[in-house]
Amino acid sequence: MADRRGDQHGSAHPHPNLRVPGAANREDGGGRRQRTAATHLPSKDAMTAAIRHLTIDCQDPYALSRFWSTALGYIDDPDNPNEPDDPEAVIIDPDGLGPGLLFIPVPETKAVKNRFHLDLVPDQLRDLEVHRLVAAGANLVSDHRNEDGSGWAVLADPEGNEFCVERSPAERGTAPAVDTGARRFPPVRASDEREVLVAMLDWYREGVVTKVTGMAQHLAVATPLRSSSSVAGLVKHLALVEDSWFSVRFAGNPEMADWADADFDVDPDWEFHTAADEPLADQIDRYQRAIAISRSVTEAHAVDDLSVEAVGDPAVHFTLRWTLVHLLEETARHLGHLDVLRELLDGTVGE
């Protein structure tokens, strides 16, 4: 293994002047955590030093580097990847914006509180990030979160090194909103009933895809509410609803293979629970496939045609008209849920 501190790996931090966004105000709740920006800054021509690595003493460099790689999204140096039997380990910011973390072995375990620790600002909600890091191997040391949503949590990594998790920029109101803008209604204000129903349902369907496209995977599967609702789960649910009402109940076709073996009696929220383990791109693709089937069923029938399957108590057959109206209200309602979830999770607004 090449020397982790050798000059040949200087690319781990290509930017000589490290800037930490938000450093002038670490946390806006909790009193002692407030601080102001430094007033004595070097002149433009003054010589300064840059932080290349933050070095962490530990007993198992490789194992601890895996935890912090998960926590920060850092990667191994592509020219010198870490191996379990290496005497030290280093991970670097893939964007080259922050210093690397260097882990070196020492014989003793951590015995006292850190004199230096990291403050993490997650890109998802603070409490979700605490949950994620605990699942990755951290321990909650002390909880300074307040009822009004301010505050922070102190965690320790697998070797006991403390660090803090603060609120996300979205929670602190410092993240700029990303506005995707408005979408035009289809030109059907004077059209007949069928054209209005079909066009408006398609408008809401397209809104679902627009709303969730480009969302980070870990945010798409996050469940910030008391229920199991997530962005990914709602998209999967909408695909299931499309298939269930248009293709299966109305047209009498077999279910899509995606849920043919699902036992909804055992798990009524199966689509929400299973979405957590699947890429968001797969949910979007499945939803679009279900929509294509629904459109083909719609095109093959008149709005007064009756369903193959009877539903309700007492069981009655329903028209294509009712199916279109039901899917329109179902899609519009869940698009509203997606709108709120996305703004809550990453600040994106718009139609």
Q: Which two tokens stand for residue 142?
A: 């002390």
State the pLDDT at residue 325. Answer: 98
pLDDT of residue 207: 95
Can you give the pLDDT at residue 43?
64
Of the three residues 141, 175, 209, the one that is the final residue of a domain is: 175
Do 196 and 234 have their domain in common? Answer: yes
Total structural domains within the chain: 3
For residues 187 and 300, membership in a common domain is answered with yes
pLDDT, tens digit (0-9, with 9 covering 90-100), for 166-176: 998 878 876 66
Please report the pLDDT score of residue 173 as a whole number. 72
Whether residue 77 is found in the same domain as residue 190: no
Res. 133: pLDDT tops 70: yes
225 inside domain:
yes
For the stretch 279-305, pLDDT in tens is: 999 999 999 999 999 999 999 999 999
Of 88, 109, 130, the domain-final residue: 109
Residue 12 has pLDDT above 50, yes or no: no
Report, as an integer, the average pLDDT of 239-261: 95
Q: Does an H or E element contain 54, and which?
A: strand 53-58
Nearest to 13 by CA among 82, 74, 88: 74
Dist. CA 256–CA 296, nearest whole Å: 15
- Provide the residue range defining the domain that includes 163: 112-175
Residue 26 pLDDT > 70, yes or no? no
pLDDT surpasses 90 at 316 = yes
Does the pLDDT at position 190 exceed 70?
Answer: yes
Is the CA virtual torsion 343, 131, 159, 66 positive or negative? negative
Q: What integer pLDDT is reported at residue 192 of this predicted model?
A: 95
Answer yes or no: do 128 and 198 share one domain.
Answer: no
Give a yes or no: residue 36 inside a domain. no
**pLDDT for the residue 4:** 53
pLDDT at 314: 92
The most confident of the ranges 16-25, 172-181, 258-267, 284-293 is 284-293
Confidence label for 224 from pLDDT (cuts 50, 70 and 90)? confident
Mean pLDDT score across all residues of the chain: 86
Q: How far apart are CA 275 and CA 147, in angstroms?
A: 31
Which tokens hold the place of 277? 């383990």
**Does residue 30 fall inside a structural domain?**
no
Identify whether the C-beta of residue 58 lies closer than 8 Å to the C-beta of residue 105: yes
Residues 161 and 252 in one domain: no
Round to whole Å and give the CA distance between 62 and 45: 40
| Residue 23, in any domain of the structure | no
pLDDT at 350: 84
Domain match, 197 and 300 both: yes
Predicted confidence at residue 22, as pLDDT, reads 37
Percent of the chain at pLDDT > 90 equals 63
243 and 329 assigned to the same domain: yes
Question: What is the reported pLDDT for 17?
Answer: 33
pLDDT of residue 195: 96
* Domain of residue 289, CATH code: 1.20.120.450
Q: How confident is the model at residue 344 (pLDDT cuts 50, 70, 90)?
A: confident
75 with 116, same domain: the answer is no
Predicted confidence at residue 70, as pLDDT, reads 93
C-beta separation of 334 from 238 below 8 A: yes
pLDDT at residue 180, as a whole number: 80
Rounded to an integer, the average pLDDT of 203-221 is: 93
* pLDDT given at position 200: 97
Assess whether 195 and 285 both reside in one domain. yes
Are 244 and 189 spatial neighbours (Cβ–Cβ below 8 Å)? no
Considering only the C-alpha atoms of the chain, give the largest distance between any 2 of them, rounded to a whole number of Å: 84
Q: Are residues 186 and 296 in the same domain?
A: yes
Between residues 29 and 347, the one the model is more confident about: 347
- Say yes or no: 199 and 240 in one domain: yes
- The reply to whether 170 and 184 lie within a common domain is no
Whether residue 44 is contained in a domain is answered as no
Give the percent of the chain with pLDDT over 70: 86
In a domain, 68, yes or no: yes
